[in-house]
Amino acid sequence: MKIKRVKALMRILKLRTLAPLLLCLFYFAASAHAAATVFSSTKSETGNLRVMLDPAHGGADEGAHGVNSLKEKDVNLSLALFLAAKLDEAGFEPRLTRDSDKEMTPEERAAAANRVQPAVFISIEVNGSELREVRGLEIFFSAPPAEGADPGFWRAGQARAYEKSLRLADSLEGSLRSLGLEYRGKTLIPSPLLGAVTSPAVLVTLGNISWSQEADFLTEDAGKQALARALVSAVKDFFTQKPKETEKKNAN
């Protein structure tokens, strides 16, 4: 009987000793799960970060026209599909607002992005003008609403992601300038599309299809490969940078 009592006491002591350890393990597991859920909306089921590409125009909205009967809507889609494949190879999960010749309003594009909740949103377009000053690359991001304007869409969209959009624009600027092409800088614009997206969002103009040299760069494999390398590098840079203090404040 004494032996049985001793064994019973030992079991009780073991349970008392293990209880705090089990509680700690439970706490850390719960914390890890909570941390994971913060990012789950921006990742696929395999954990890859989602990058949403938005080929501007489509359908009856052909966009700009260029040399050799090029249409902006077709060039944008071709570039987006090519870039999506390269992002996939780099371990990201690319998504597209359209993958065919489909017309969509800015509001529909923003809604499509917000349903997917990508880690970043990049709208792609090209110019089509014979004016020299509209050649080259340019990056746009959404300006806060002007005084007196309805701030509703901004508060529901870019308000919390604005600082990250600026940082995404910085990352793209560094990569795109390395291509050695004419670069026209970063520009704030009032945008129903970018302003309504809840993720970090920018619009990138990748060239001018009315100039033969840039049209060739945008449609030939060598040019698309160079653009893809620059884009993938920019996205990687964005995700490896430390958030700015203003980003942390806006997230709270």
Q: What integer best gives the mean pLDDT of the chain?
A: 84
Shared-domain flag, residues 33 and 94: no
Integer Cα distance of 122 and 241 in angstroms:
18
Q: Which domain holds residue 176?
A: 50-251
Identify the pLDDT of residue 132: 80
pTM beyond cutoff 0.85: no
Identify the pLDDT of residue 162: 94
Shared-domain flag, residues 17 and 99: no
Identify the pLDDT of residue 42: 62
Integer Cα distance of 236 and 120 in angstroms:
11
Integer Cα distance of 162 and 220 in angstroms:
34
Per-residue pLDDT reduced to its tens digit, 183-233: 999 999 999 999 999 999 999 999 999 999 999 999 999 999 999 999 999
Shared-domain flag, residues 246 and 152: yes
Cβ atoms of 194 and 123 within 8 Å: the answer is yes
Integer Cα distance of 76 and 226 in angstroms:
16
Beta strands 120-127 and 137-142 are unpaired
Shared-domain flag, residues 132 and 16: no
Count the residues in the chain.
252
Integer Cα distance of 13 and 30 in angstroms:
26
* Token pair of 240 as six digits: 């490896």
Shared-domain flag, residues 166 and 246: yes
Per-residue pLDDT reduced to its tens digit, 126-166: 999 988 888 999 999 998 888 877 778 788 899 999 999 99
Shared-domain flag, residues 204 and 97: yes
- Within a domain: 176: yes
Asked if pLDDT for residue 44 goes beyond 70, the answer is: no
Shared-domain flag, residues 34 and 62: no
Q: Which residue has the higher pLDDT, 44 or 165?
A: 165
The domain tally of the chain equals: 2
Identify the pLDDT of residue 244: 64
